[in-house]
Chain A
C-alpha cells in the first residue's frame, strides 16, 4: 500500500500518469534559485537546451557562462567561482561531466571543497538511441568515492526541482543526477524532501523484503511492489535519493524490519547505490541483498523501455530479485 504522509501522486498507478523528465526539474529549480539568490551562477558546455539550462541563461544572462565543448575547463572555472563566493551549477551529460573531467572535479572541486553543484544529465541507460557512449552508468560510483562530495539522484521532476534548490543550501560540492526521458511523476509539490532522508513510499503490515531504489526506477520498483502484493508477497519501497551521505537510520530500520533487501538503480551494480547500502549493512547489520542494475556490461542503442528490460531493470527483474532474496532468507 502507498505509505502515509508522503503525499504521492494520486494517479501513480493509473495508465494516464503524467510523464516528465527529471532534467526539467533541474531547469525549474535553477530559475527559482536565480530569482532567490544573486550568487547562483550557471555554466554549461554547449548543451543549454537539453540540460534545461536555457531558461536560466535567458533570464539571467549576466550570470550564465557558456563554456563551449570543454568539460574539464568548466569544472575548473566552476571551482574558481565557487571559492570566490559564487554558487556555480555546472551542467553537461554525465558521460562527459563527471565522465571526462573527473580529475578536475577531484582536485579543484572536491579537495578544494569548492561550493560547486555538478549536474550530470542524460544519466543511465534510458538515454536510449544515442547508445552506450552516452549512457553514463558509472557516475554514482565515481562521484560517491570522493571525499567532501554529496550525491543525490532524484526520482521525478518534483524531487529534481527540490534537490536542485536544496543543493544551494548545502555548503560544498554536490553531484545531482538527472535523466533524459519523460518518466512517471511519483511525488507531488507537497511531498516531503530533505537531502539525506530516504522515504518509505510503499509499505506493508509485514514486509518480507525492502526494495531500495533511486532515480526514475523508483517507479518501476513501485510497480513491482504492487504486483507482488497481488501475489501475497509483502514488500516496502524506499526512495533512496541521497546516496551520499546515505540515510543510515532508514536503511538499518528497513533491513531489520524485512531481513532482505533488493537495490534498484540505473547504474552499474559495482560501486553504485546498492554497493553503498551493502557497505553500511555489512558493518552494522549483515542482510541478504540482491542487486538490480547494469550487470557489468555496456548498453546499446534502443528504445529506453526495451533497454530497461533487456538489461535487467524491468518490473519482472525486480520481482524475481525479491523472490530470490526471499528464497535465500529461508
Chain B
C-alpha cells in the first residue's frame, strides 16, 4: 500500500475542493469545458499533492518535474490544483479567461509560471514532452516529464508520431497519462473514430503500459511509482475516468464536454459536491 487511510482521505478531500472550485470558476468564466476537468480532478490532485517533485514557491526551480497538458482545454483543473498547491493566490482563479489574465483559456508558456509549454490544439503535447525529456537525458538531469493527454487526441496523427519517437528513444524519464473517459465533442470515441486497442498500440511502440481506475488514489500513486522505477522504457498510464465525475447530471455525458454550467446548474453541482465532501469525511472517521 502506497497510501494509508489518512493520506487517502486528505487527497480525496483535496480533490473534492478542487472540483467545487472548478465549477465555481467555470460558471464565472461563462465558457470552457466541464466534463474533462472534473474527470481528471483526482489525477491532478495526486500529481500536485503527492507525485510531483516541485516547489510552488519557486516554479522555475531547475530540478522540478515538468507537467505538459496536451489536452489543454481541461486546464481549469490544473489552474485550480496549482492555486491550492501555492503557485498563486486562490483569488486569481476567478480571472480565468478574462481580459489581461495570466489564466489563459488554454495553457500558454510565459503567461503563468508553472505552465511549461503552450498547448490546446490537440496532439501537440506528447512531442513537446519528448523534447523536454530528451534535453533532460542529454544533460543527465534527474527530473521527470509528465504528459497528460486525452483519448480523443489519439485521432491526431502527430500523437502517434510522438509515441513512435518516444518508444524509439526509450525516454524512460517520461510518464504519459491518458484521460480515458470515452467522450469527445461529437460523441463517444469508439463511435466517432475508434482508438482501441490503446494498450496494445502503445505496447507495440515499445512502451510500458498500465491501466488504472483514474479515481482511485492508491492506483494512481502506485502506477506513477512503478513508472519511476522503470529505467529502460517510457510508461503510459491509461487512467479510466468518468467525465463530469462528482456531478450526477454531468457524469458520462459527452454533452458536457465543451460547456460551462449555468448559475443554476453550478448551484446544483456544488450542493452535490458538498454532500460528497461530507461523505468523504464521515467514511474516514
Contact surface of A with B, Cβ cutoff 8 Å: 41, 62-63, 65, 67-68, 70, 72-73, 75-86, 88, 103-104, 107-108, 111-114
Question: Nearest residue in A to B72 (C-beta to C-beta)?
Answer: A107
> A77 near B127 (CB under 8 angstroms)?
yes
- Cα-based distance from A77 to B127 in the complex (angstroms): 5
Contacts of A114 in B (CB 8 A): 109
> B116 near A85 (CB under 8 angstroms)?
no
Does B130 count as interface, using CB distance less than 8 angstroms? yes
Does B108 count as interface, using CB distance less than 8 angstroms? yes
> A84 near B131 (CB under 8 angstroms)?
yes
Question: Nearest residue in B to A63 (C-beta to C-beta)?
Answer: B138
Q: Which of A73, A81, A83, A104 contacts B165 (CB 8 A)?
A: A73
Task: Point out which of A65, A67, A75, A76 has the most chain B C-beta atoms below 10 A from its C-beta.
Answer: A76
Given A62-B138, A81-B131, A113-B109, are A72 and B117 also a contact pair (CB < 8 Å)?
no
From 84 to 136 in chain B, residues with beta carbon under 8 angstroms from any chain A beta carbon are 108-110, 116-121, 123-124, 126-136
Contacts of B157 in A (CB 8 A): 72
Contacts of A72 in B (CB 8 A): 123, 127, 157-158, 161
Q: Which applies to chain B's interface (DSSP): helix, strand, loop or mixed?
A: helix
Contacts of A112 in B (CB 8 A): 109-110, 117-118
Given A80-B117, A83-B116, A85-B139, are A108 and B124 also a contact pair (CB < 8 Å)?
yes
> A80 near B138 (CB under 8 angstroms)?
no
- Cα-based distance from A86 to B135 in the complex (angstroms): 7
Does B221 count as interface, using CB distance less than 8 angstroms? no
- Cα-based distance from A79 to B121 in the complex (angstroms): 15
Contact surface of B with A, Cβ cutoff 8 Å: 108-110, 116-121, 123-124, 126-136, 138-139, 157-158, 161-162, 164-165, 168
Contacts of A108 in B (CB 8 A): 117-119, 124, 127-128
Some 9 contacts from A to B, beta carbons below 8 A apart, are A62-B138, A70-B158, A70-B164, A73-B127, A73-B161, A80-B128, A80-B133, A84-B136, A112-B117
In the assembled complex, how far is the CB of residue A117 from the closest CB belonging to chain B, in whole angstroms? 14
Contacts of A77 in B (CB 8 A): 127-128, 130-131, 134, 162, 165
Given A70-B165, A107-B120, A112-B117, are A76 and B131 also a contact pair (CB < 8 Å)?
yes
Contacts of A79 in B (CB 8 A): 117, 127-128, 131
In the assembled complex, how far is the CB of residue B160 from the closest CB belonging to chain A, in whole angstroms? 9
Contacts of A88 in B (CB 8 A): 131
Contacts of A113 in B (CB 8 A): 109-110
- Cα-based distance from A73 to B160 in the complex (angstroms): 9
Contacts of B134 in A (CB 8 A): 65, 77, 80-81
Contacts of B129 in A (CB 8 A): 80
Given A77-B165, A79-B128, A82-B131, are A111 and B158 also a contact pair (CB < 8 Å)?
no
Given A104-B158, A111-B108, are A84 and B164 also a contact pair (CB < 8 Å)?
no
- Cα-based distance from A34 to B34 in the complex (angstroms): 48
> B164 near A104 (CB under 8 angstroms)?
no
- Cα-based distance from A82 to B130 in the complex (angstroms): 12
Given A79-B131, A83-B132, A113-B110, are A73 and B116 also a contact pair (CB < 8 Å)?
no
> B124 near A104 (CB under 8 angstroms)?
yes
Contacts of B109 in A (CB 8 A): 83, 111-114
Contacts of B117 in A (CB 8 A): 79-80, 83, 108, 112
Contacts of A111 in B (CB 8 A): 108-109, 118
